[in-house]
Structure 1
Protein backbone atom coordinates (compact mmCIF):
# COMPACT_ATOMS: atom_id res chain seq x y z
CA UNK A 1 0.00 0.00 0.00
CA UNK A 2 1.42 3.36 -1.00
CA UNK A 3 1.57 6.66 0.80
CA UNK A 4 -0.70 9.44 -0.46
CA UNK A 5 0.30 13.06 0.16
CA UNK A 6 -2.37 15.76 0.16
CA UNK A 7 -1.29 19.36 -0.27
CA UNK A 8 2.42 18.61 -0.64
CA UNK A 9 4.83 21.49 -0.30
CA UNK A 10 8.56 22.05 -0.13
CA UNK A 11 8.77 21.30 3.61
CA UNK A 12 5.67 19.28 4.40
CA UNK A 13 2.35 17.94 3.18
CA UNK A 14 -0.89 19.08 4.77
CA UNK A 15 -1.87 15.41 5.17
CA UNK A 16 -0.07 12.12 4.66
CA UNK A 17 -2.32 9.08 4.27
CA UNK A 18 -1.14 5.55 4.92
CA UNK A 19 -3.07 2.38 5.61
CA UNK A 20 -6.35 4.23 6.19
CA UNK A 21 -4.87 6.75 8.64
CA UNK A 22 -4.65 10.52 8.07
CA UNK A 23 -1.64 12.29 9.57
CA UNK A 24 -2.24 16.05 9.60
CA UNK A 25 0.57 18.57 9.68
CA UNK A 26 0.60 20.91 12.65
CA UNK A 27 -2.05 23.59 12.22
CA UNK A 28 -1.50 27.15 13.45
CA UNK A 29 -3.79 30.17 13.26
CA UNK A 30 -3.49 32.38 10.21
CA UNK A 31 -6.18 35.03 10.60
CA UNK A 32 -6.21 35.26 14.41
CA UNK A 33 -2.47 35.43 15.16
CA UNK A 34 -1.80 37.69 18.11
CA UNK A 35 -5.42 37.51 19.27
CA UNK A 36 -7.10 35.70 22.17
CA UNK A 37 -6.35 31.99 22.56
CA UNK A 38 -10.06 31.21 22.24
CA UNK A 39 -10.15 32.77 18.78
CA UNK A 40 -6.90 31.08 17.77
CA UNK A 41 -8.17 27.71 19.00
CA UNK A 42 -11.47 28.06 17.14
CA UNK A 43 -9.65 28.94 13.93
CA UNK A 44 -7.24 25.99 14.19
CA UNK A 45 -10.06 23.55 14.96
CA UNK A 46 -11.95 24.87 11.94
CA UNK A 47 -8.86 24.29 9.80
CA UNK A 48 -8.67 20.72 11.07
CA UNK A 49 -12.36 20.23 10.25
CA UNK A 50 -11.72 21.44 6.70
CA UNK A 51 -8.71 19.20 6.17
CA UNK A 52 -10.51 16.15 7.53
CA UNK A 53 -13.60 16.82 5.42
CA UNK A 54 -11.47 17.27 2.31
CA UNK A 55 -9.89 13.88 2.96
CA UNK A 56 -13.26 12.16 3.53
CA UNK A 57 -13.13 12.06 7.33
CA UNK A 58 -14.36 14.17 10.26
CA UNK A 59 -13.62 14.99 13.88
CA UNK A 60 -15.49 11.93 15.19
CA UNK A 61 -12.75 9.82 13.58
CA UNK A 62 -9.85 11.52 15.38
CA UNK A 63 -7.42 9.06 16.93
CA UNK A 64 -5.07 11.49 18.65
CA UNK A 65 -4.20 15.17 19.01
CA UNK A 66 -1.04 16.82 20.23
CA UNK A 67 -1.63 20.37 21.37
CA UNK A 68 1.27 22.77 21.71
CA UNK A 69 0.70 25.96 23.71
CA UNK A 70 3.06 28.93 23.98
CA UNK A 71 2.17 29.18 27.66
CA UNK A 72 0.37 26.67 29.91
CA UNK A 73 -1.58 29.61 31.38
CA UNK A 74 -3.61 29.32 28.14
CA UNK A 75 -4.64 25.72 28.93
CA UNK A 76 -8.04 26.46 30.54
CA UNK A 77 -9.29 29.00 27.96
CA UNK A 78 -8.10 26.77 25.10
CA UNK A 79 -10.06 23.88 26.62
CA UNK A 80 -13.21 26.04 26.82
CA UNK A 81 -13.26 26.06 23.02
CA UNK A 82 -11.86 22.62 22.36
CA UNK A 83 -14.22 20.83 24.75
CA UNK A 84 -17.26 22.13 22.86
CA UNK A 85 -15.71 21.06 19.53
CA UNK A 86 -15.07 17.42 20.47
CA UNK A 87 -18.11 15.25 19.83
CA UNK A 88 -19.55 13.67 23.00
CA UNK A 89 -17.99 10.28 23.60
CA UNK A 90 -15.52 10.77 20.74
CA UNK A 91 -12.55 12.39 22.49
CA UNK A 92 -9.27 11.21 20.95
CA UNK A 93 -6.09 10.39 22.83
CA UNK A 94 -4.37 13.68 23.60
CA UNK A 95 -1.26 15.36 24.92
CA UNK A 96 -0.84 19.06 25.68
CA UNK A 97 2.56 20.62 26.21
CA UNK A 98 4.14 24.04 26.46
CA UNK A 99 6.47 24.82 23.58
CA UNK A 100 8.28 27.68 21.89
CA UNK A 101 6.27 27.89 18.67
CA UNK A 102 8.02 28.76 15.41
CA UNK A 103 5.27 31.00 13.99
CA UNK A 104 5.23 34.55 15.44
CA UNK A 105 1.96 35.53 17.12
CA UNK A 106 0.77 31.93 17.39
CA UNK A 107 -0.20 30.69 20.83
CA UNK A 108 -1.32 27.23 19.67
CA UNK A 109 -0.44 24.48 17.22
CA UNK A 110 -2.39 21.25 16.91
CA UNK A 111 -1.23 18.04 15.25
CA UNK A 112 -3.98 15.49 14.59
CA UNK A 113 -4.22 11.88 13.46
CA UNK A 114 -7.53 10.46 12.23
CA UNK A 115 -8.99 7.37 10.62
CA UNK A 116 -9.89 7.92 6.98
Structure 2
Protein backbone atom coordinates (compact mmCIF):
# COMPACT_ATOMS: atom_id res chain seq x y z
CA UNK A 1 0.00 0.00 0.00
CA UNK A 2 1.22 3.48 -0.86
CA UNK A 3 0.50 6.18 1.73
CA UNK A 4 0.79 9.86 0.84
CA UNK A 5 0.89 12.70 3.37
CA UNK A 6 0.48 16.45 2.83
CA UNK A 7 -0.52 15.93 -0.78
CA UNK A 8 -1.56 18.54 -3.32
CA UNK A 9 -1.96 18.44 -7.10
CA UNK A 10 1.81 18.56 -7.64
CA UNK A 11 3.42 16.51 -4.89
CA UNK A 12 3.32 14.83 -1.51
CA UNK A 13 5.66 15.92 1.26
CA UNK A 14 5.89 12.28 2.44
CA UNK A 15 5.29 8.99 0.62
CA UNK A 16 5.53 5.72 2.54
CA UNK A 17 5.65 2.36 0.75
CA UNK A 18 6.89 -1.12 1.71
CA UNK A 19 8.75 0.09 4.79
CA UNK A 20 10.43 2.99 3.01
CA UNK A 21 9.80 6.71 3.45
CA UNK A 22 10.44 9.21 0.66
CA UNK A 23 10.53 12.91 1.50
CA UNK A 24 10.18 15.76 -0.94
CA UNK A 25 13.04 18.24 -1.06
CA UNK A 26 13.38 20.33 2.10
CA UNK A 27 14.76 23.85 2.30
CA UNK A 28 15.27 26.12 5.28
CA UNK A 29 15.25 29.73 6.30
CA UNK A 30 18.22 31.90 7.24
CA UNK A 31 20.85 34.16 5.77
CA UNK A 32 23.72 31.65 5.67
CA UNK A 33 24.00 28.11 4.36
CA UNK A 34 24.59 26.91 7.94
CA UNK A 35 21.36 28.54 9.16
CA UNK A 36 19.40 27.17 6.22
CA UNK A 37 20.91 23.70 6.64
CA UNK A 38 19.99 23.58 10.35
CA UNK A 39 16.41 24.65 9.62
CA UNK A 40 16.16 22.29 6.65
CA UNK A 41 17.38 19.32 8.69
CA UNK A 42 14.96 20.18 11.50
CA UNK A 43 12.18 19.95 8.89
CA UNK A 44 13.56 16.58 7.77
CA UNK A 45 13.49 15.42 11.40
CA UNK A 46 9.83 16.46 11.77
CA UNK A 47 8.72 14.72 8.57
CA UNK A 48 10.66 11.57 9.43
CA UNK A 49 9.09 11.46 12.89
CA UNK A 50 5.63 11.94 11.40
CA UNK A 51 6.21 9.07 8.99
CA UNK A 52 7.59 6.64 11.59
CA UNK A 53 11.27 7.08 10.85
CA UNK A 54 14.28 9.05 12.09
CA UNK A 55 17.64 10.35 10.97
CA UNK A 56 19.15 7.04 12.17
CA UNK A 57 17.06 5.29 9.49
CA UNK A 58 18.12 7.41 6.50
CA UNK A 59 19.18 5.22 3.59
CA UNK A 60 20.03 7.89 1.03
CA UNK A 61 20.25 11.67 0.91
CA UNK A 62 20.78 14.09 -1.94
CA UNK A 63 22.06 17.54 -1.02
CA UNK A 64 21.80 20.38 -3.53
CA UNK A 65 23.83 23.53 -2.93
CA UNK A 66 23.40 26.81 -4.78
CA UNK A 67 27.19 27.22 -4.52
CA UNK A 68 29.68 24.40 -4.03
CA UNK A 69 31.80 26.91 -2.11
CA UNK A 70 29.30 26.30 0.75
CA UNK A 71 30.17 22.58 0.87
CA UNK A 72 32.31 22.73 4.02
CA UNK A 73 29.85 24.93 5.94
CA UNK A 74 26.93 22.66 5.03
CA UNK A 75 28.95 19.54 5.93
CA UNK A 76 29.77 20.98 9.37
CA UNK A 77 26.02 21.20 10.09
CA UNK A 78 25.36 17.78 8.54
CA UNK A 79 28.13 16.11 10.55
CA UNK A 80 26.80 17.61 13.79
CA UNK A 81 23.25 16.44 12.93
CA UNK A 82 23.95 12.89 11.72
CA UNK A 83 24.34 10.30 14.52
CA UNK A 84 27.71 8.57 14.52
CA UNK A 85 27.66 5.28 12.63
CA UNK A 86 24.43 6.13 10.76
CA UNK A 87 25.78 7.91 7.68
CA UNK A 88 23.61 7.16 4.64
CA UNK A 89 24.62 6.87 1.03
CA UNK A 90 24.78 10.53 0.00
CA UNK A 91 25.31 12.71 -3.02
CA UNK A 92 25.97 16.45 -3.09
CA UNK A 93 25.93 18.72 -6.09
CA UNK A 94 25.44 22.27 -7.23
CA UNK A 95 22.11 23.34 -8.70
CA UNK A 96 20.03 26.41 -9.30
CA UNK A 97 17.41 26.15 -6.54
CA UNK A 98 13.78 27.29 -6.75
CA UNK A 99 14.44 30.71 -5.18
CA UNK A 100 17.42 33.02 -5.40
CA UNK A 101 17.56 33.18 -1.58
CA UNK A 102 17.80 29.40 -1.20
CA UNK A 103 21.27 27.97 -0.56
CA UNK A 104 20.61 24.30 0.26
CA UNK A 105 17.98 21.63 -0.39
CA UNK A 106 17.98 18.09 1.02
CA UNK A 107 16.07 15.08 -0.33
CA UNK A 108 15.87 11.99 1.88
CA UNK A 109 14.85 8.33 1.58
CA UNK A 110 14.62 6.40 4.86
CA UNK A 111 13.50 3.10 6.28
CA UNK A 112 10.47 3.01 8.53
CA UNK A 113 11.72 2.38 12.07
CA UNK A 114 11.49 -1.24 13.19
CA UNK A 115 9.06 -0.35 16.02
CA UNK A 116 6.64 1.21 13.51
CA UNK A 117 6.83 -1.53 10.90
CA UNK A 118 6.38 -4.35 13.46
Q: Same fold (TM over 0.5)?
A: yes
Please give the residue correspondences for 1:8-47 in structure 2 after superposition, counting only pairs within 5 Å: 8-29=7-28, 31-32=29-30, 35-47=31-43
CA separation in 1, counterparts of 2:91 and 2:12?
A: 22
The correspondence for 1:51, drawn from 47, 52, 56, is 47
Please give the residue correspondences for 1:22-101 in structure 2 after superposition, counting only pairs within 5 Å: 22-29=21-28, 31-32=29-30, 35-101=31-97
Q: Considering only aligned residues, what root-mean-square deviation do their CA atoms show, in Å? A: 0.8
Please name the residue that 2:115 is paired with: none
Moved over 4 A (4+): none
TM-score of the pair, normalised by structure 1: 0.94
- Deviation string 1:25-65 (CA, Å, 9 cap, x unpaired) is 00011x32xx0110000000000000001111110000000
CA separation in 2, counterparts of 1:67 and 1:48?
A: 12
Cα pair 2:5 2:13 within 8 Å, conserved: yes
Return the offset for 1:103.
2.4
Look up the SS of the partner of 1:103 in the other structure. Answer: coil
Count of residues in correspondence between the two structures: 112
CA separation in 2, counterparts of 1:17 and 1:104?
A: 31
Structure 1 residue ranges without an equivalent (≥5): none
